[in-house]
Structure formats: structure tokens, C-alpha cells
Amino acid sequence: MSSPGIGPLCFIKSRVNAAIYQEILEHVMLPSTDKLYGADDVIFQQDLAPAHTAKSTKTWFNDHEITVPLNSPDQNPMEILWGIAKKR
């Protein structure tokens, strides 16, 4: 989800480790951000899941020049959406 729109859903049938997460980023997130943002800079928000905080994942983001801010539930819109979904 982003200000210019939403990308495709990605259904995962296994546990997500850093390698699988990076494959999802490479093959789902990158094409989606290219379509939604073109050459504009992207700030990618995620939580503190182990696959998100792995050194190899941090390296992946650095290699792709994608900014990932420090995690704060107040700044993460996904936390708000999960709250709404749980209430429903």
C-alpha cells in the first residue's frame, strides 16, 4: 500500500526467512514500486520480523538504494490496518 496506489498481493506458502523475503522484494515489491513510483525515491516501511532485520536484508536494501526508516508503530500504517482488520 502506498500513496499512489497498491501493489499485488503475494501469497506465501512457507515460512519466510531472509532469503525468501529478499526474493519477494526482488520479484514482487521492486516491480510494483517501479510501476507506482517510476524513478522517484521510495521509503519502505516494515516491522521488526527477523527476515526484515537480517544483515543480508539490510544489505539488499542498501544495494537497491531503498530507504528503510527505523521501526515505529506510530509511523507504520500497517499496524493501524491490522487493528482495523482484527476488530472486524
Contact at 8 Å (CB) between 61 and 68? yes
Half-sphere CA count of 20, side-chain side, radius 13 A: 11
Average pLDDT, the chain: 87
Task: Quick: pLDDT tens for 22-48.
Answer: 999 999 999 999 999 888 888 888 888
Helix-strand-coil split of the chain, %, nearest 5: 55, 5, 40
Identify the residue whose cell numbers are 539490510.
58
Poorest-confidence range of 3-17, 36-50, 68-82? 68-82
**SS3 state of residue 83:** helix
